[in-house]
Amino acid sequence: MELSGAEILWECLMREGVEVVFGIPGGANMPIYDAMLKYPVHHVLVRHEQGAAHMADGYARASGKVGVALATSGPGATNLVTGIATAMMDSSPVVFITGQVHAHLIGGDAFQETDVTGITLPITKHNYLVTRAEEIAQVVREAFYIARTGRPGPVLIDICKNAQIQKTEFVYPEKIELPGYKPPRTAPPSELKKAAQMIKESRRPVILAGHGLLISRAYREMQELSHRAHIPVAMTLLGIGSMPASDPHNLGMMGMHGEAYCNLAIQNADLLIALGMRFDDRVTGNLKTYAPHAKKIHVEIDPSEVHKNVVVDLPLFGDLKAVLTDLLPYVEEARHDEWFDQIEEWRAESDSRDIIYWPDDGKLYTAHVIRSIWEATQGKATLATGVGQHQMWAAQYYPFEEPYRFITSGGAGTMGFGVPAALGVWFTDKSRDVWVIDGDGSFQMTQAELSTIVQEGASVKIAIMNNHFLGMVRQWQEFFFESRYAATPLHGPDFVKIAEAHGIPAQRITKPEEVKDALQFANQTPGPVLLDFWVEKEEAVYPMVPAGADLHDMIRRPVREKSPA
């Protein structure tokens, strides 16, 4: 069967199970778009290529499938870069397909020529420059295999225009053999027995649940380990959802804006069991004083992450699901009641400071709004967020009972992620209750994708926590720069009018008593809705571990006179 390179691309995408792609056509990928009309794929026309990248990323995180984003050469390809870096930092499987100028023009500064493979080399798991049609089938097959296996990540395929047009015999490569690329599967029994013995001997253990648990679908095995050995679970930002919020073993989020009692548990532990997390700086604080009394087990599929930041006592290399499945038969039942009692004391002290228990003082606080969204959605929504204070409050005050319900940018901290990622999530299951929790700063970075949401008829609800500041930067300026607010007061447009201009129903909420009716309006209105919450301008996220400080050295919210009942 002789096909053009563009047709071969779509033939391969169909065999990979691709149902939806996100992108924008241009001069260097026009043959790809022309061939697309012959295939049963849904294309989402975005307003900016960054939006395409985040949509494909959100789709991948929520579904476990590989997301796909398309762009043309030059500025189209470079507009993907922020989204590619975001996917790379958070190990999200996305294949990015860009058009490139004709092969004979490369290096000649042709119109819209950019060395996209050179630019993206540090922020992709792998990338390809395709100059001939004969290469396309093999490259696409490899790209999807690399993106989804081992530690997932983004792969970029840059296809020259002549390769898209040329015709060649299409042969689909059924098998993939990549010498040197052999992700480890599981640890040897001798190492698993050592881990089980360390767990048995511990008196104050803590499981550190990272994003890898969700990526490998290993959260049920982790929960079984936690329950069998009576071990509390602390989660990274991207590990949220791996343990139900209502489970007594759940300590909540760790790290810079994690729960105080969670950080104290880590600092006083005698054993840390790190599952699919990389000990980044926002989790550990000062490495010299991090968990000083704890032995450490690190289960990780990527050997480069082990001993990188924290030297561990026992590394276990392999896929988390396989390692935990093989480890569980060696683990004995145990009780650590004294340890849990100590943690509960710390938790009670933290609750005495928690803003969620504050009585109504007539002010609109983001934490209270997010908790109201949780109540209005019965805790069953999938949240996509931007980055900043609202993101941390969402992690703290929307308790998640299920995995894959919290879609957010972790490692890269990409503002503007929320709105496009939410649309990607919606395409994984259109019956999902999808909400965006955004800040006024993050929202303005990708607000053009409101048009995409309307064009697709997507039922995405958007809640803007509008404090008229770049809130997280303002908080740092307040704490560490003597409240010198340099370039953080933020003038924004009328978001209600912006929404209405796109054909989206919208409301502005300025008082606590208006919240319930607004959320009812959103839930009862078909399709997209935007709610603009004018929250307190200078409220801060607590607790906070200053950059480089000890994990237990937290800035904490002052205790109000009235503690929780």
Task: Please write the tens of the pLDDT for every residue from 347-376.
Answer: 999 999 999 988 889 999 999 999 999 999
pLDDT, average across residues 129-158: 98
Domains of the chain: 2-169 (3.40.50.970), 189-349 (3.40.50.1220), 355-534 (3.40.50.970)
Q: Which residues of 267-296 are buried (b: 16+ CB within 10 A; e: fewer)?
A: bbbbbbbbbbbbbbebbbbbeeebbeebbb
Instruction: Give 228-252 pLDDT, tens digit per residue.
Output: 999 999 999 999 999 999 999 999 9
**Which pair of structure tokens corresponds to residue 402?**
């299920």
CA dist 124 and 83 (Å) reads 11
Active site residue 533: no
Q: Which residues contact 562 (CB under 8 A, 6 or more apart)?
A: 357, 358, 359
Active site residue 111: yes
Helices 515-524 and 366-376 cross at an angle (nearest 10°) of 40
pLDDT of residue 396: 97
Instruction: Give 201-211 pLDDT, tens digit per residue.
Output: 999 999 999 99
Q: Residue 561: pLDDT above 60?
A: no
Instruction: Give 271-321 pLDDT, tens digit per residue.
Output: 999 999 999 999 999 999 999 999 999 999 999 999 999 999 999 999 999
Active site residue 161: yes
Active site residue 16: no
Catalytic residue among 19, 30, 112, 521: 112
CA dist 413 and 56 (Å) reads 17
Instruction: Give 462-487 pLDDT, tens digit per residue.
Output: 999 999 999 999 999 999 999 999 99
Closest residue by Cα to residue 393 from 539, 286, 251? 539
Closest residue by Cα to residue 470 from 385, 389, 414? 389
* Torsion over CA: 61, 67, 144, 113 (sign): negative
* pLDDT averaged over every residue in the chain: 97
Catalytic residue among 222, 235, 415, 472: 472
Active site residue 469: no
pLDDT, average across residues 145-151: 97
**Scanning the structure block, which residue is given the tokens 């093999």?**
138
Distance of CA 254 to the CA centre of its chain: 16
Catalytic residue among 2, 14, 111, 430: 111
**Scanning the structure block, which residue is given the tokens 């938790």?**
347
Catalytic residue among 161, 296, 321, 461: 161
Residue 559: pLDDT band with limits 50, 70, 90? confident
Catalytic residue among 49, 259, 456, 539: 49
pLDDT, average across residues 126-142: 98
Instruction: Give 84-96 pLDDT, tens digit per residue.
Output: 999 999 999 999 9
